Chains A and B, each alone.
Chain A
Amino acid sequence: MTTSLKKLVTAIGASVALMGAGHAAAEIQIGIAGPVTGPVAQYGDMQFSGALMAIDRINEQGGVLGEKLVPVEYDDVCDPKQAVTVANRLVNDGVRYVVGHLCSSSTQPASDIYEDEGILMITPASTSPEVTARGYELIFRTIGLDSMQGPVAANYLADQNPERVAIVHDKQQYGEGIATAVRDTLKDKGVEIAMFEGVTAGDKDFSSLITKLKQADVEYVYFGGYHPELGLILRQARQANLDATFMGPEGVGNNDINTIAGDASEGLLVTLPPSFDEKEENQELVKAFEAKNEDPSGPFVLTSYAAVQLIAEGIEAADSKDPFDVAEALRSGTFETPIGTVEYDEAGDMKSFEFVVYEWHSDGSKTPAK
Chain B
Amino acid sequence: MQDLLYFSQQLINGLTIGSAYALIAIGYTMVYGIIGMINFAHGEIYMIGAYTALIAITGMTALGLAWLPLILLVALICAMIVSSSMGWAVERVAYRPVRGRHRLIPLISAIGMSIFLQNYVHLAQGSRNVGFPALIEGGFTFGSGEAFQMSLSYMQITIFITTLICMTVLSMFISRSRTGRACRAVSQDLGMASLLGIDTNRIISVTFVIGAALAAVAGLLLGMYYGSVDPLFGFIAGLKAFTAAVLGGIGSIPGAMLGGLILGVSESMTSSYLSGEYKDVVSFGLLILILLFKPTGLLGKPEVEKI
Asked if A and B bind, the verdict is yes
Q: Which residues of A contact B (CB under 8 A)?
A: 171, 197-200, 202-205, 207-209, 211-212, 214-215, 217, 227-228, 231-232, 235-236, 239-241, 256, 259-262
Given A239-B134, A262-B131, does the pair A232, B271 have CB atoms closer than 8 Å? Answer: no
Binds A, one of B87-95, B183-191, B196-204, B229-237: B229-237
Nearest-CB residue, chain A, relative to B141: A241
Q: Bits for B7-36, please: 1 = Cβ < 8 Å to A, else 0.
A: 001100110110000000000000000000
Tell me the B210-234 residues at the A interface (CB within 8 Å): 222, 225-228, 230, 232-233
The smallest beta-carbon distance between B145 and chain A, in angstroms, is 12
Q: Are B149 and A241 in contact (CB under 8 A)?
A: yes
Q: Which residues of B contact A202 (CB under 8 A)?
A: 232, 236
Q: Which residues of B contact A236 (CB under 8 A)?
A: 226-227
Nearest-CB residue, chain B, relative to A240: B151
Q: Are A212 and B137 in contact (CB under 8 A)?
A: no
- Residue in A197, A214, A232, A256 whose beta carbon sits within 8 Å of that of B128 in the complex: A256
Q: Which residues of A contact B272 (CB under 8 A)?
A: 208, 211-212
Within the assembled complex, what's the spacing in Å between the Cα atoms of A2 and B112?
Answer: 62
Interface residue? B268 (CB, 8 A):
yes
Q: Which residues of A contact B268 (CB under 8 A)?
A: 207-208
- Residue in B137, B151, B227 whose beta carbon sits within 8 Å of that of A260 in the complex: B227
Q: Which residues of B contact A240 (CB under 8 A)?
A: 151, 153
Interface residue? B246 (CB, 8 A):
no
Q: Which residues of A contact B17 (CB under 8 A)?
A: 205, 207
Q: Are B6 and A205 in contact (CB under 8 A)?
A: no
Q: Are A200 and B131 in contact (CB under 8 A)?
A: no
Q: Which residues of A contact B236 (CB under 8 A)?
A: 202-204
- Residue in B6, B129, B279, B280 whose beta carbon sits within 8 Å of that of A228 in the complex: B129
Given A198-B277, A200-B279, A231-B129, does the pair A211, B134 have CB atoms closer than 8 Å? Answer: no
Given A205-B17, A241-B151, does the pair A260, B276 have CB atoms closer than 8 Å? Answer: no
Interface residue? B275 (CB, 8 A):
yes
Known: A199-B276, A239-B134. 12 other contacts (CB 8 A): A198-B276, A199-B277, A200-B276, A204-B236, A207-B13, A207-B16, A211-B10, A228-B129, A232-B226, A235-B134, A261-B131, A262-B134
The smallest beta-carbon distance between A176 and chain B, in angstroms, is 11
A-B contact count (CB 8 A): 95
Within the assembled complex, what's the spacing in Å between the Cα atoms of A241 and B9?
Answer: 13
Within the assembled complex, what's the spacing in Å between the Cα atoms of A198 and B279?
Answer: 10
Interface residue? B173 (CB, 8 A):
no
The smallest beta-carbon distance between B155 and chain A, in angstroms, is 7
- For the complex, count residues of B whose C-beta is within 8 A of A: 40
Q: Which residues of A contact B141 (CB under 8 A)?
A: 241
Within the assembled complex, what's the spacing in Å between the Cα atoms of A45 and B254?
Answer: 62
- Among the interface residues A211, A228, A240, which one has the most CB atoms of the partner chain B within 10 A? A211
The smallest beta-carbon distance between A75 and chain B, in angstroms, is 27
Report, nearest first, the 3 A-B pairs whose CB atoms are least far apart. A208-B271, A207-B13, A204-B226
- Among the interface residues B230, B232, B279, which one has the most CB atoms of the partner chain A within 10 A? B279
Nearest-CB residue, chain B, relative to A241: B151
The smallest beta-carbon distance between B276 and chain A, in angstroms, is 5
Nearest-CB residue, chain B, relative to A214: B148
Within the assembled complex, what's the spacing in Å between the Cα atoms of A197 and B227?
Answer: 22
Q: Which residues of A contact B225 (CB under 8 A)?
A: 205
- Among the interface residues A227, A235, A239, which one has the most CB atoms of the partner chain B within 10 A? A239
Q: Bits for B130-160, please: 1 = Cβ < 8 Å to A, else 0.
A: 1101100101010000001101010100000
The smallest beta-carbon distance between B264 and chain A, in angstroms, is 9
Given A197-B276, A207-B13, A228-B129, does the pair A212, B271 have CB atoms closer than 8 Å? Answer: yes
Within the assembled complex, what's the spacing in Å between the Cα atoms of A147 and B150?
Answer: 38
Interface residue? B44 (CB, 8 A):
no
* Selected A-B contacts with CB under 8 Å, 23 pairs: A199-B277, A200-B276, A200-B280, A205-B17, A207-B16, A208-B10, A208-B268, A208-B276, A211-B13, A217-B148, A228-B228, A231-B131, A231-B227, A235-B134, A236-B226, A239-B137, A239-B139, A239-B153, A256-B128, A256-B129, A260-B227, A262-B131, A262-B134
Nearest-CB residue, chain A, relative to B235: A202
Q: Bits for B265-289, please: 1 = Cβ < 8 Å to A, else 0.
A: 0011001100111011000000000
The smallest beta-carbon distance between A361 and chain B, in angstroms, is 16
Nearest-CB residue, chain B, relative to A259: B131
- Residue in A204, A215, A235, A256 whose beta carbon sits within 8 Å of that of B233 in the complex: A204
Given A198-B276, A239-B134, A239-B153, does the pair A208, B148 have CB atoms closer than 8 Å? Answer: no
The smallest beta-carbon distance between B191 and chain A, in angstroms, is 42
Nearest-CB residue, chain A, relative to B227: A235
The smallest beta-carbon distance between A251 and chain B, in angstroms, is 14
Within the assembled complex, what's the spacing in Å between the Cα atoms of A199 and B278?
Answer: 9
Nearest-CB residue, chain A, relative to B280: A200
- Among the interface residues B131, B155, B268, which one has the most CB atoms of the partner chain A within 10 A? B131
Q: Which residues of A contact B14 (CB under 8 A)?
A: 208
